[in-house]
Amino acid sequence: MTGKRPVPIILVYRDMHYTITMRYEYYNPNPKGLSIGDCAVRALAKALDLTWDKAYEKLVTYGYRMKNLPNADSVWGAVLHDAGFSRHVIPDSCPHCYTIGDFADDHPVGTYILGTGSHAVTIIDGTVYDSWDSTSETPTFYWRRKNELSL
């Protein structure tokens, strides 16, 4: 499935209804269409505009040099750092109430890769690109492309 799929969320607060529409787009560049725990490969492919094969090759090369697995945070983080991204921590003032969807709403411009500790996902200009709707997951850190405009 391709194309943007708005994910409507209806909030009810004190008998008032609010509808927020987050942008989520199905994205799975795996050449065989497999969903195999390759979130770091998918995230890098989207953020760096690479094919799945090139992103995987880059991660394996960095992993080999670092003597770590290709999907380790430190490995894909090193790839992003060398590609001009900077790492930031998300404050844990409300550790379970700030979601990937909230982050997308708060960052409508720019390229970001978010980490949850067990998942990586790319957000470009407020759209979440993933092979499943991960907007309700809780991010703990993010990488932002340097020298991009932001709001």
Q: In one letter, which amino acid is 109?
A: V
- Within a domain: 151: no
Into how many domains does the chain fold?
1
- Within a domain: 111: yes
- Within a domain: 86: yes
- Within a domain: 120: yes
46 closest CA partner among 140, 133, 145, 116? 145
The dihedrals phi and psi of 140, each to the nearest 5 degrees, come to -115, -20
- Within a domain: 29: yes
* Residues 25-69 pLDDT 10s: 999 999 999 988 999 999 999 999 999 999 999 999 999 999 999
Q: Which helix (H) or strand (E) holds 114?
A: strand 111-115
Give 126 or 96, the one with higher predicted confidence: 126
By residue range, what is the domain housing residue 70? 4-145
Which residues are registered as beta bridge partners of 25? 4, 129
* Residues 98-143 pLDDT 10s: 999 999 999 999 999 999 999 999 999 999 999 999 999 999 999 9
* Cα dist from 69 to 17, 38, 60, whole Å: 46, 12, 8
Is the pLDDT assigned to residue 76 strictly greater than 70? yes
